[in-house]
Chains A and B, each alone.
Chain A
Amino acid sequence: MELVLNPPAPLLKRLSWFDWLFAVIAAAGGLYALAHYNEYMDVYEKGILLATIPALAIFGWYWKPFRTLFIVVGAVSLFALGQYDGNLARMEEAFFLKYLISSQAAIMWMCALFGLATLTYWGGMLGRSGFALKTATGLTWSAVALGWVGLMVRWYESYLIGPDVGHIPVSNLYEVFVLFCLITAMMYLYYEARYQTRQLGALVLVVISAAVGFILWYTFDRGAHEIQPLVPALKSWWMKLHVPANFIGYGSFSLSAMLGAGYLLARRGILASRLPSLDIIDDMMYKAIAIGFGFFTIATILGAMWAAEAWGGYWSWDPKETWALIVWLNYAAWLHIRLVKGLRGPMLAWWAVIGLFVTTFAFLGVNMFLSGLHSYGSL
């Protein structure tokens, strides 16, 4: 008994200088915003801003690549803001803004990079090329970074249009689709690193590409990328919490559906030798649904609390609310079957795939086919 095993050090003692630098940058950014703009924020918005600082820091400490992403996105966004110099017309004049990092250019680059990443993942998986898969991961990261830059710059542009028009870019279907792509991709990247497997990217990026297709159609056919001022019902700090929480839910449910599809393919021997083992896919699928369910629960509760403030009742059986409940019940049943009955395998995988259709209907279909209070993103 020569070796004495040391217990793992507590999180704070395991932090590197980079962790601390990252936390300092996050805090500095948040406090700068608070110092400069506090007179435009109500007490809840200040609370959200302050709580964001430790949340970012802890998230970055827990998932290391996030630190780099955060700093890169922050630096590029600030550069774009500098290029604007308070003048919206610079969008068409300044080289960087016009072709790279005005919100719309950045989001279009995000779309292109996600498309490329999808092709590269498929190439890498089919050709068993580790290099191609690594490239695909890099492309996905770049797409995520540009997408975030696009949203950040869009946030700023909305204030350039008019101080009363400005708002966080999670207010319509176009903006949340970008958010959906980013969250789904980031969740996938997290699991990719954790399970050391890149092959599943080919499947996951399919659902992201579908969302990208929607964004492009929505932009070019409907001009949905235009920044519109908020309708009175949306002018609330609740939006900053409710919408992102919902999209973590939607993102992870979509991720789980694509993993479910991978499971079913591999089980039938299709791509089986190229995909990771069934156990790994199954485990990822469960984790994605568990995370999604947690955030979806929070999002629905936050939505109810907001509804109580805006519509006069925490639950009105509005179509969107009802479909949120249906999605929630669906995954509640899924989790019960798996955890209590201990069921595994193809049935749950099928269920996860079908869950995507239920989720998509709640997210899109309700806006398209049903009318109600929650009609902010009509097609």
Chain B
Amino acid sequence: MTTPHSFGKSLFELLSSMRFAISLLSILAIASVIGTVLKQAEPYANYLFQFGPFWFEAFRKLGLYDVYHAAWFLVILLFLVVSISVCIWRNAPGFAREMKSFREHVTDRSLAAFKHKHAAEFTHAPEALADQAQHYLEGQGYTVRRLTRDDGLLLAAKAGSWNRLGYFLAHSAIVLICIGGLMDGNLIFKAQQLLGYKKIETRDIPQSEVPPISRLTPDNPSFRGSVQIPEGSSADVVFLNVADGYLVQDLPFTIALKQFRIEHYSTGQPKNFESDVEVFDHTGKKVRKATIAVNHPLIHDGIAIYQASFADGGTRLDIRGWNLFAPTASPFPVEGTVHQNTRLTSPAGDYTLEFVDFRPFNIENMGEEDAPKNNAMSVFGGSPVASDKHMRNVGPSFQYKLRDTRGQAREFSNYMLPLELDGRWYMLSGVRETPNESFRYMRMPLDPDGSLDTFMRLRGALLNPELRPEIASRFARETLPKSAWGSDTEDKLKFSASQVLALFADGGFTALGRFIEEKVPAAERDKAAATYLRILELSTFEALHIANRDAKLPPPASDDATGWLVRDSLNSISDLFVYGSPIYLQLLQFDEVKASGLQLTRSPGKSVVYFGSLLLTLGVFFMFYVRERRVWLRVRPGHALLAMSSNKHTIDFEKEFAQHVHALDTLAR
């Protein structure tokens, strides 16, 4: 027989019950875990890839990609707020009374029923005992109320009433913090979205073309968005990432980036990120000039502007292109800007060149495997001075995608400066097929002048079939003594050299290896490979002679350096066949333009949350470090009864009771 009244009452009972509050705390904790395990606010495509279409959709419906803003999560929070509020409502009057009350109406019978009580007999005047006891209790921090009773008097004392105040403070603090958090949340947008006033933009279009339905006006009370501004440019909007799209938030001002700076420690790690900005109002008047750094935001017009990230803002690149399979060594010029595309028409084919990024510096670990640390010297763990000898700035690099006419693209990452590896210098170019892979690097040797010219010349000569007979015959004549010139042996050698060169020009060492595997019996393969390699190296040296002669340069020296150059060149040429591009782009010069990633926040709830936090701190300390205790001393002629109570029975309480008992006994003596 439930009447509406009793239903309301039992709802009230439930909401204000401890069990309910604890259950909510537990559910909240468990729900929070989800958001830490599942990466939040990723692009939806990533989730689709990770979970497959069925679970992707299921999780999307559950709001798991943005748990903390999901409706059900907010409902749990709301229940918590309601539960705590009801709890405060229910306990407030009683607690307030408790704080004020001395419980002076306590009867003799109820005092006698206390667990902590102690009786003492005494001989002198009750008044005098009461005076002493009152003095003692006040000295112990109690407030004492003295009451006369028919046959004597009663001292009612209390201490630590603030403990109850702590309860109010802490619990209203939680309510305040939740309210402040909701003020800074996206509830308004959610409501607008539900009612169809606003819609998330998912297309990749210029912000000026985003329609008003996906724009938020400057008077939006709370937002947190970000924007990337290249040096010398300005922005009057920020972007808010929502679900699988974004919203455009119009700002009440325009912010211009003058300069973005990165400071470095001597070890190369970044030390500080700073943006010099200027703020203009909508009439175009400059109203503020400031520098924003990490941990040092600028607050303008109630909007806090933070240094959040950085990127390339459209660096201009001056590039030399090499056609890797051309029989000549003549390069061609290319110009480009990061984040932009260029058509590339070359003898090797037509391509779209997409400049992805430019990095003015690269800190790379150039060290060998770390030496064992547990040597005898480091019993004490060694020096805390970082051994950063291996970390080195290897200079600028740029990334680009080369897309062929069929739309297939590979991504490249080329260093501008040569790198020293194993004591020799190379130009490095990395390549990968998909963004998940790491770059595989091809290295091209530099000549003693520090240029790629010799390698390119040699490459051209080796890949040029027209030069092959001359190379072969030079090789044969250099190898054989003069007496054997014109013999069958020379013809055989010439033939072998031509064959090896042709194979190599067709597919590098792989082609050579395949040939040996097909034509040479297994037992003789190693020997054949060694012979072919020797022929190839010597022929290549001759090719270099010819290439130099044709370029009107002095002949190459017959020294170790040339030997290494020849070997390295052969390795590089062989790698060209798996490099995946007929073009190598060498960065000559750049004009860097940086972009600063700023985050702009308007959070009206912040002060509410901070005030709530202050109350919470006070409340917690009052609750745990102020002990509420009450003491009664009922004095009748010749007879005194001490009773004590507390809302928390701890060992400290027992100790204090023992102390009061001792005091009473001393007074009564």
Residue in A closest to B68 when the chains form the complex, CB atoms: A317
Q: Which residues of chain A are within 8 angstroms of B606 by Cβ–Cβ distance?
A: 308, 314
- Residue A315 CB within 8 A of the other chain: yes
Q: Assess whether A312 is in contact with B297, with CB atoms less than 8 Å apart.
A: yes
Distance in angstroms from A103 CB to nearest chain B CB is: 6
Known contacts A5-B666, A290-B624, A333-B26; decide if A310 and B294 are in contact (CB<8 Å).
Answer: yes
Q: Assess whether A1 is in contact with B124, with CB atoms less than 8 Å apart.
A: yes
Q: Assess whether A226 is in contact with B386, with CB atoms less than 8 Å apart.
A: yes
Q: Which residues of chain A are within 8 angstroms of B306 by Cβ–Cβ distance?
A: 310-312
Q: Assess whether A280 is in contact with B308, with CB atoms less than 8 Å apart.
A: no
Q: Which residues of chain A are within 8 angstroms of B224 by Cβ–Cβ distance?
A: 312-313
A312→B306 CA distance, assembly (Å)? 6
- Residue A39 CB within 8 A of the other chain: no
Distance in angstroms from B241 CB to nearest chain A CB is: 13
CB-CB contacts below 8 Å: A357-379 with B: 366, 370-371
Distance in angstroms from A240 CB to nearest chain B CB is: 13
Q: Assess whether B270 is in contact with A220, with CB atoms less than 8 Å apart.
A: no
Distance in angstroms from B185 CB to nearest chain A CB is: 10
Q: Assess whether B610 is in contact with A305, with CB atoms less than 8 Å apart.
A: yes
Distance in angstroms from A108 CB to nearest chain B CB is: 5
Query: What mask results when residues 137 to 174 of chain B are scored 1 for a CB within 8 Å of chain A, else 0?
Result: 01110000000000000000000000000000000000
- Residue B28 CB within 8 A of the other chain: yes
Distance in angstroms from A85 CB to nearest chain B CB is: 16
Q: Which residues of chain B are within 8 angstroms of A294 by Cβ–Cβ distance?
A: 617, 620-621, 624-625
A328→B265 CA distance, assembly (Å)? 37
- Residue B181 CB within 8 A of the other chain: yes
A232→B270 CA distance, assembly (Å)? 7
- Residue A6 CB within 8 A of the other chain: yes
Q: Which residues of chain B are within 8 angstroms of A12 by Cβ–Cβ distance?
A: none
- Residue B405 CB within 8 A of the other chain: no
- Determine which of A232, A314, A336, A339 lies in contact with B295 in the assembled complex, contact meaning CB atoms within 8 Å: A232
Q: Assess whether B36 is in contact with A313, with CB atoms less than 8 Å apart.
A: no
Q: Assess whether B380 is in contact with A5, with CB atoms less than 8 Å apart.
A: no
Q: Which residues of chain B are within 8 angstroms of A105 by Cβ–Cβ distance?
A: 380-381
Distance in angstroms from B32 CB to nearest chain A CB is: 5
Of the 9-residue stretches A46-54, A74-82, A179-187, A319-327, which lies at the interface with chain B? A319-327
Q: Assess whether A319 is in contact with B36, with CB atoms less than 8 Å apart.
A: yes
Q: Which residues of chain A are within 8 angstroms of B624 by Cβ–Cβ distance?
A: 290-291, 293-294, 335
Residue in B closest to A8 when the chains form the complex, CB atoms: B139
Query: What mask results when residues 24 to 41 of chain B are scored 1 for a CB within 8 Å of chain A, else 0?
Result: 011011001101110110
Q: Which residues of chain B are within 8 angstroms of A162 by Cβ–Cβ distance?
A: 265-266
Residue in B closest to A234 when the chains form the complex, CB atoms: B295
Residue in A closest to B138 when the chains form the complex, CB atoms: A7
Residue in A closest to B140 when the chains form the complex, CB atoms: A7
Of A7, A102, A315, most B-chain CB atoms within 10 Å: A315
- Residue B100 CB within 8 A of the other chain: no
Q: Which residues of chain B are within 8 angstroms of A336 by Cβ–Cβ distance?
A: 18, 21-22
- Residue A41 CB within 8 A of the other chain: no
- Determine which of B18, B601, B666 lies in contact with A312 in the assembled complex, contact meaning CB atoms within 8 Å: B601
- Residue B208 CB within 8 A of the other chain: no
Q: Assess whether B32 is in contact with A225, with CB atoms less than 8 Å apart.
A: no
Distance in angstroms from B402 CB to nearest chain A CB is: 32
How many residues of chain B are within 8 Å of chain A by beta carbon? 82
Majority secondary structure of chain A interface residues (helix, strand, loop or mixed): helix
- Residue A34 CB within 8 A of the other chain: no
Q: Assess whether A104 is in contact with B384, with CB atoms less than 8 Å apart.
A: yes
Residue in B closest to A295 when the chains form the complex, CB atoms: B620
CB-CB contacts below 8 Å: A49-101 with B: 88, 91-92, 98-99
Query: What mask results when residues 611 to 653 of chain B are scored 1 for a CB within 8 Å of chain A, else 0?
Result: 0010011001101110000000000000000000000101110
How many residues of chain A are within 8 Å of chain B by beta carbon? 79
Residue in A closest to B614 when the chains form the complex, CB atoms: A301
Distance in angstroms from A265 CB to nearest chain B CB is: 20
Of the 9-residue stretches B51-59, B128-136, B188-196, which lies at the interface with chain A? B128-136
CB-CB contacts below 8 Å: A191-234 with B: 219-220, 223, 225-229, 231-233
Residue in B closest to A111 when the chains form the complex, CB atoms: B381
Distance in angstroms from A197 CB to nearest chain B CB is: 12
Q: Assess whether B272 is in contact with A6, with CB atoms less than 8 Å apart.
A: no
- Residue B667 CB within 8 A of the other chain: yes
Q: Assess whether A1 is in contact with B304, with CB atoms less than 8 Å apart.
A: no
- Residue B269 CB within 8 A of the other chain: yes
Query: What mask results when residues 374 to 397 of chain B are scored 1 for a CB within 8 Å of chain A, else 0?
Result: 100011111111110000000000
Q: Which residues of chain B are within 8 angstroms of A308 by Cβ–Cβ distance?
A: 606
- Determine which of B28, B387, B621, B651 lies in contact with A329 in the assembled complex, contact meaning CB atoms within 8 Å: B28
Residue in A closest to B26 when the chains form the complex, CB atoms: A333
Q: Assess whether B668 is in contact with A1, with CB atoms less than 8 Å apart.
A: yes
Distance in angstroms from A327 CB to nearest chain B CB is: 9
- Residue B5 CB within 8 A of the other chain: no
- Residue B373 CB within 8 A of the other chain: yes
Q: Which residues of chain B are within 8 angstroms of A233 by Cβ–Cβ distance?
A: 294-295
- Residue A128 CB within 8 A of the other chain: no
Q: Assess whether B380 is in contact with A104, with CB atoms less than 8 Å apart.
A: yes
Residue in A closest to B34 when the chains form the complex, CB atoms: A322
Of A103, A305, A313, A325, most B-chain CB atoms within 10 Å: A313
Distance in angstroms from B484 CB to nearest chain A CB is: 62
- Residue B527 CB within 8 A of the other chain: no
Q: Assess whether A164 is in contact with B265, with CB atoms less than 8 Å apart.
A: yes
- Residue B122 CB within 8 A of the other chain: yes
- Determine which of A290, A298, A326 lies in contact with B29 in the assembled complex, contact meaning CB atoms within 8 Å: A326
- Residue B271 CB within 8 A of the other chain: yes
Q: Which residues of chain B are within 8 angstroms of A220 by Cβ–Cβ distance?
A: 373-374, 378, 381
Distance in angstroms from B306 CB to nearest chain A CB is: 4
Q: Assess whether A333 is in contact with B22, with CB atoms less than 8 Å apart.
A: yes
Q: Assess whether A164 is in contact with B271, with CB atoms less than 8 Å apart.
A: yes
Distance in angstroms from B242 CB to nearest chain A CB is: 15
- Determine which of A98, A236, A337, A366 lies in contact with B36 in the assembled complex, contact meaning CB atoms within 8 Å: A366
- Residue B267 CB within 8 A of the other chain: yes
Query: What mask results when residues 292 to 329 of chain B are scored 1 for a CB within 8 Å of chain A, else 0?
Result: 01111100000010101000000000000000000000
- Residue A268 CB within 8 A of the other chain: no
Q: Assess whether B599 is in contact with A312, with CB atoms less than 8 Å apart.
A: yes
A3→B133 CA distance, assembly (Å)? 12
- Residue B609 CB within 8 A of the other chain: yes
Q: Assess whether A286 is in contact with B272, with CB atoms less than 8 Å apart.
A: no
Known contacts A235-B294, A308-B606; decide if A329 and B265 are in contact (CB<8 Å).
Answer: no
Q: Assess whether B35 is in contact with A322, with CB atoms less than 8 Å apart.
A: yes
Known contacts A8-B140, A232-B270, A301-B613; decide if A280 and B651 are in contact (CB<8 Å).
Answer: yes
Q: Which residues of chain A are within 8 angstroms of B380 by Cβ–Cβ distance?
A: 98-99, 102, 104-105, 108
A219→B515 CA distance, assembly (Å)? 53
- Residue B82 CB within 8 A of the other chain: no
Q: Assess whether A5 is in contact with B385, with CB atoms less than 8 Å apart.
A: no
A231→B271 CA distance, assembly (Å)? 6
- Residue B503 CB within 8 A of the other chain: no
Q: Which residues of chain A are within 8 angstroms of B663 by Cβ–Cβ distance?
A: 5
A1→B120 CA distance, assembly (Å)? 13
- Residue B273 CB within 8 A of the other chain: yes
Known contacts A1-B668, A325-B32; decide if A229 and B265 are in contact (CB<8 Å).
Answer: yes
Distance in angstroms from B519 CB to nearest chain A CB is: 52
- Residue B454 CB within 8 A of the other chain: no
Distance in angstroms from A341 CB to nearest chain B CB is: 6
- Residue B429 CB within 8 A of the other chain: no
Query: What mask results when residues 157 to 191 of chain A are scored 1 for a CB within 8 Å of chain B, else 0?
Result: 10001101100000000000000000000000000
Known contacts A3-B666, A235-B295, A312-B308; decide if A229 and B381 are in contact (CB<8 Å).
Answer: no
With A232-B293, A313-B603, A325-B29 known, 13 other A-B pairs at CB within 8 A are A91-B385, A157-B385, A225-B384, A226-B383, A232-B273, A235-B272, A283-B651, A290-B625, A297-B620, A301-B616, A319-B35, A325-B32, A326-B29
Interchain Cβ contacts under 8 Å between A and B, 17 examples: A1-B668, A3-B666, A3-B669, A4-B132, A5-B135, A5-B136, A104-B382, A105-B381, A223-B382, A312-B601, A314-B609, A317-B35, A322-B33, A322-B35, A325-B32, A335-B624, A370-B36
Closest 6 CB pairs of A and B: A7-B139, A312-B306, A226-B386, A232-B294, A290-B624, A319-B36
